[in-house]
Amino acid sequence: MAQLWGGRFTKETDQKVFDFNESFSFDRRLFFVDIEGSLAHAKMLAAQGIITEEDGIKIREGLNSILEDYKSGKLVFSKGYEDVHSFVEANLIERIGEAGKKLHTGRSRNDQVALDMKLYARQKTTDIIDDLTVLEGTLLNIIKENTETYMPGFTHLQKAQPVTLAHYLSAYLEMFLRDTERLHQIYGRLNICPLGAGALAGTTYPLDRDMVAKELGFAAATGNSMDSVSDRDYLIELMSAFSIIMMHLSRFCEELILWNSNEYRFVEMDDAFSTGSSIMPQKKNPDIAELVRGKTGRVYGDLMGLLTTMKGLPLAYNKDMQEDKEGFFDASDTVEDCIQLFEGMLRTVTFKKDIMEKSAMMGFTNATDAADYLVKKGVAFRDAHGIIGSLVLYCIGKNCAIEDLSLAELKEISPVFEEDIYDAITLKTCVERRLTKGGPSKQAVEEAIARYEQCIGKGTGL
């Protein structure tokens, strides 16, 4: 059993205790960032004269050889190591001898793992921002192509008012842009280097923490050694942001699942992102959308697990914090996979524009515009609301739309109606007269598109 401690102990660790305590089975994915952090630490130790320049060179060469051998397949992960740190250090000592034992000078596993997790989380954050940027670009392309694709908007899952597909999808683009901005903000808070905090109280060695921070691309070194080793706020923030991303994806998936149903028929899923039934040959199921929707609960669970782990921990480091890794690894992997798969699914969706438009013409989505028509003719809004309510009830009885009624029938309900009512309640009129910022008119959506083009890929928000 390869461990970095033991001098104070007289008995071997019980195998079950070792197995329960070890983290190498899952923290091995920190291998690359552990090497990266150790290279910077060794360089600083030599620069500060804490170890000789010769030993510093040996350590760095040894670490690089471990890295190269792993990449080439000569070195493989094997059982018996307590964690990724003991794996790297044991292999280093085996390669370069006594010099390898000096790498851990001025460092604790507490600040070492805090560094590794920040390096890893930083890279994952960047990767997920990149994935979101691709999704936002795909969504923007669909929006640009559908500024005149009419469809119903809904409240309470009931048809409400006509909008365009571009306007509808812009709502989701707004969500994803907020997600991107949120990740950029969290990145700024996590990008502070904890190495040099030691176990909890720093060290007596003259470390140059700012040098290490700069070497590793951090904005600065952390300000309090106890907080440095016990802080997991950045992981909680990230997992919270991941949960919000998944919530947005899940809502969008729910839309597509509904739209893909026979009752809506607004979209057709591409075969590459659908599955069939083992018993019903006619079925084409939106399984990817359903799985993304389902995995949202998984990411929520990862967040709640870490929040619960951290809620009662006194300063500074406690072994409970080892539980941060599997949940974060799972959440970050899940959200990354879901964004990528969702983007591919969305990119290949066929929108059935004629069915969307036909649907918008049914369900009295122009009722509000009919009321506005009366208001413009001098009728008080509350009275206009009542008149159109009666008109809708009349149409329901006749199983027809408002525009199907003759002018004589309309005048029986209100003499204010004139021939121009028919133009006032067409889909195009209903949509295009909504010129307010953020509205569904082509002009308003094109203004939004110009704004989106300035935001996508920059993380500057809206």
pLDDT tens-digit series, residues 44-65: 999 999 999 999 999 999 999 9
pLDDT of residue 5: 46
Which CATH number characterizes residue 87's domain? 1.10.275.10
Q: Which residue bears the tokens 């028509």?
A: 373
- Calpha distance 23→284 (Å, rounded): 42
423 and 305 housed in the same domain: no
Count of domains forming the chain:
3
Residue 439 in domain: yes
177 and 311 housed in the same domain: yes
User: Is it the case that residue 461 has pLDDT exceeding 60?
Assistant: no
Residue 281 in domain: yes
Contact 83, 27 (CB under 8 A): yes
Backbone angles phi, psi at 154, to 5 degrees: -130, 150
User: Is it the case that residue 253 has pLDDT exceeding 70?
Assistant: yes
Q: 275 pLDDT band (50/70/90 cuts)?
A: confident
Q: 3 pLDDT band (50/70/90 cuts)?
A: low
Q: 15 pLDDT band (50/70/90 cuts)?
A: confident
134 and 273 housed in the same domain: yes
- In tens, the pLDDT along 92-142 reads 999 999 999 999 999 999 999 999 999 999 999 999 999 999 999 999 999
pLDDT of residue 277: 80
Q: Which residue bears the tokens 């109606």?
A: 417
- CA atoms within 13 Å, Cβ hemisphere of 353: 10
How many residues can be counted in the chain?
462
pLDDT of residue 457: 87
335 and 394 housed in the same domain: no
pLDDT of residue 87: 96
Instruction: For the beta carbon of residue 451, count every other beta carbon within 10 angstroms.
Output: 15
Q: 291 pLDDT band (50/70/90 cuts)?
A: very high
- Calpha distance 392→394 (Å, rounded): 5
Q: 16 pLDDT band (50/70/90 cuts)?
A: confident
Contact 459, 184 (CB under 8 A): yes
Task: Report how far apart, in Å, the C-alpha atoms of 79 and of each of 20, 82, 209, 311 are.
Answer: 14, 9, 33, 32
Mean pLDDT of the region 186-215: 98
Q: 9 pLDDT band (50/70/90 cuts)?
A: low
User: Is it the case that residue 1 has pLDDT exceeding 70?
Assistant: no
Beta bridge pairs of residue 268: 350
Contact 370, 421 (CB under 8 A): yes
pLDDT of residue 276: 83
Residue 114 in domain: no
Residue 42 in domain: yes
227 and 137 housed in the same domain: yes
Q: 458 pLDDT band (50/70/90 cuts)?
A: confident
Q: Which residues participate in catalysis according to the annotation? A: 156, 277
pLDDT of residue 17: 76
User: Is it the case that residue 6 has pLDDT exceeding 70?
Assistant: no
Final residue of a domain: which of 105, 133, 152? 105
Mean pLDDT of the region 404-433: 96
pLDDT of residue 175: 98
Helices (H), 260-320: 287-310
Q: For the residues of 69-110, what is the DSSP string, one character each?
A: HHHHTSS---SSBSSHHHHHHHHHHHHHGGGGGGTTTT--HH
Which CATH number characterizes residue 299's domain? 1.20.200.10
User: 196: which 2 tokens?
Assistant: 């040099």
Mean pLDDT of the region 245-259: 98
Task: Report how far apart, in Å, the C-alpha atoms of 194 and of each of 18, 35, 127, 286, 308 are.
Answer: 27, 16, 22, 45, 23
Which CATH number characterizes residue 445's domain? 1.10.40.30
194 and 332 housed in the same domain: yes
283 and 370 housed in the same domain: no
Helices (H), 146-286: 165-190, 209-215, 225-230, 233-259
Residue 278 in domain: yes
Mean pLDDT (the chain, rounded): 95
Contact 292, 301 (CB under 8 A): no
253 and 309 housed in the same domain: yes
pLDDT of residue 400: 95
Final residue of a domain: which of 354, 388, 404? 354
344 and 404 housed in the same domain: no
pLDDT of residue 22: 82
Mean pLDDT of the region 14-19: 76
Q: Which domain holds residue 425?
A: 359-455
346 and 406 housed in the same domain: no
User: Is it the case that residue 321 has pLDDT exceeding 50?
Assistant: yes
346 and 367 housed in the same domain: no
- In tens, the pLDDT along 137-194 reads 999 999 999 999 999 999 999 999 999 999 999 999 999 999 999 999 999 999 999 9
Between 13 and 253, residue with greater pLDDT: 253
